[in-house]
Structure 1
């Protein structure tokens, strides 16, 4: 059975990646063709001509107005996937139609529905509103991962690895040393993992972007909505500074780190990342620094997970894997993912 949940929304691209030209990306093993129509909406259809399976995203295929002309034999398709012209005959075969995919553009992401089109519900698209909201500045990117998406989920749900893999960037000793709390909202299907450090070293990632130095308060509150969206609500403040009783928190710095975890195939992943901040909003130097730093951190994860994928793929079944207290969030995520693929079950909000 596939480890990839099918009836789900997945991030296929950033909105900025898709214009009035052909753009191909594989999502959950399905090659999909995207473009933005003259009206400004994003359309998505199968990236294979029905005639001889030529990828429509490849030259010399091209977009003519809002129609795709296959560069191999000239089959022409409308934005809904229907074939409107074939070479050498006036009659278009009834079955000459590309699969059309439901698309939602929201929070700077282009989401595509993989699975039964009748089950697509736009209200189920998980939100990350900071990415294009007033009062926030965002940097973002995407890195290809030659590893199954579940390994990235494990990585992000256990941030203790920051101490060791990302030392000198985002990691400090306190991250690994501080216990976590884990809760699971079974009904909503969300995993929450919190680590509150009230006396921690300020890592370079935050020291150079906020101007803080020495000891800080650092809170990491994770919210993971399987299978695709991971949000890290990060709070950084001088020692002793806490939110007011009314919820206001003007003396702290807030960073929202968002990952969209999109399976490309069973063993490769699109690793979308974004960092939104509520400070130094117009400072391009801070933006450039955070973009470079976070991409470095992501590439460190990619290198480690690419190695881990090769190791796991070569191991015989039944090899031992040991889990400890810091793994409760990752184990809860695995259980919810198994439920989405029909391999597990589970109800209510509880501590893991």
Structure 2
């Protein structure tokens, strides 16, 4: 595994959960680009600007920088920018230098996620944002969070596409022996940049994560169907039912697990996570249980990936990793990410 996965710049990435972006300035770094995010006062449209004042590079997301209406007033010397990044005021003179502007990034808000486009803005198509409609659809309840990880984002992609690690890393929460023992099926759509990995367990132990939240006891049928939309969105369609009732939807519990995998910088990634359910939607205890337990699971991954990155950084030159069948989806994702990065480095052909 290379220590650094190249960034695919001409792609949409999640910069925040929608509830994180408001009238307080929010700083995030995506693909090495520092961003400041906020919402306009009148209609609440999300705005993303470069998070450095042109004057002395003061971070616009940091106090005492503030909003004046929809304009950002730099907290260092008062340079003021509108929502397009154009500087409209400088101190001590009436003329604003022509070059006084910061980059403005295309934003698309979909399914309670705020997506940004760091590449060529002419190529930003909001209709190309992959969807996770369950995140804010009626009849679904979602718990969510975000954790930064000090690892290459390709390591997080690997982690999520190979769920056999649940048996060992997440035992006592979501892992049971059957997850590692059950063979996977893998489908790859190279052109669309989608990898699908399925694991169907007809007779499995019910892990505590589901036993305590659904009330199911005894053996279950368990389906894990992954849908990874490179480079950013990961969907895990989870379905459990009593063993022998796999075809009976009236006895099944569906859970949608969503991850947005956003490279922050070299060796650093944002892990946006969410768990959505369409059962026990009025039960606050179930909601809190799923929030707390999934946060624990996420932090187990965070600790493991931080450790793995440090280990890889100390690895001797020429080390060759070993891949097996469970790595098929992750290896396909690596190929797609490498292609997307390479395509993003090519000059855009002019339209005739």
| TM-score tier (shorter) | over 0.9
Q: Find the residue that maps to 2:342 and give its secondary structure.
A: coil
Q: Does 1:31 align with 2:34?
A: yes
Which residue of 2 is the match for residue 252 of structure 1? 252
User: What residue is the counterpart of 1:223 in the other structure?
Assistant: 227
TM-fit CA distance, 1:314:
2.0
Q: Given the alignment of the two structures, is residue 236 of structure 1 paired with residue 240 of structure 2, yes or no?
A: yes
Write the mapping of 1:57-68 to structure 2, written as runs, cut at 5 A: 57-68=61-72
**1:282 maps to what in 2?**
282
Question: Hey, what does 2:350 align to over in structure 1?
Answer: none
SS of structure 2 residue aligned to 1:250: helix
Alignment of 1:103-142 (within 5 A): 103-142=107-146
Question: 1:30, 1:221 → 2: CA distance?
Answer: 33
Partner of 2:44: 40
In the other structure, the counterpart of 1:190 is 194
Cα pair 2:12 2:129 within 8 Å, conserved = yes
2:349 aligned partner: none
Correspondence 1:202 to 2:172 = no
Q: What is the deviation of 1:251? A: 2.0
For 1:69 and 1:312, how far apart are their aligned partners in 2?
A: 43
How far apart are the structure 1 equivalents of 2:246 and 2:264?
41
2:11 paired residue number: 8
In the alignment, the residues of structure 2 paired with residue 35 and residue 217 of structure 1 have an alpha-carbon distance, to the nearest angstrom, of 44
In structure 1, stretches of 5+ residues that fail to align are 345-352
The residue number in structure 1 matching 2:348 is none
Match of 1:88 in 2: 92
1:348 maps to: none
Kept in 1, the 8 Å contact 2:66–2:75? The answer is yes
SS at match of 2:130: coil
Distance 1:132 1:339, change over 3 A: same
Q: Which residue of structure 2 lines up, in the alignment, with residue 148 of structure 1? A: 152
Distance 1:318 1:154 in 2: 21
Range that drifts further, 179-188 or 193-202: 179-188
CA contact (8 A) 2:5 2:153 kept: no
What is the deviation of 1:250? 2.6
- Displaced runs of 4+ in structure 1, greater than 4 A? none
Cα shift at 1:243: 3.4
1:19 aligns with 2:22: yes
Shift of 1:222: 0.4
- Superposition pairs for residues 70-85 of structure 1, below 5 Å? 70-85=74-89
Q: What is the distance in 1 between the residues matched to 2:25 and 2:183? A: 48
**Paired position in structure 2 for 1:273:** 273
Equivalences for residues 304-319 of structure 1 within 5 A:
304-319=304-319
Task: State the secondary structure of the residue aligned to 2:210.
Answer: helix
Cα distance in structure 1, aligned partners of 2:64 and 2:110? 31
Partner of 1:350: none
- TM-score calculated relative to the size of structure 1: 0.95
Paired position in structure 2 for 1:261? 261
Paired with 1:275 and 1:59, the residues of 2 have a C-alpha distance of 33
Q: Distance in 2 between matches of 1:16 and 1:177?
A: 39
Q: 1:217 to 1:2 in 2, by over 3 A?
A: closer
The root-mean-square deviation of aligned C-alpha atoms, in Å, is: 1.3
1:182-238 deviations in whole A, cap 9, x for unaligned? 110122110000000000000000001111011000000000011100000000001
Q: Name the CA distance, whole Å, in 1 between partners of 2:341 and 2:75.
A: 38
CA contact (8 A) 2:5 2:338 kept: no
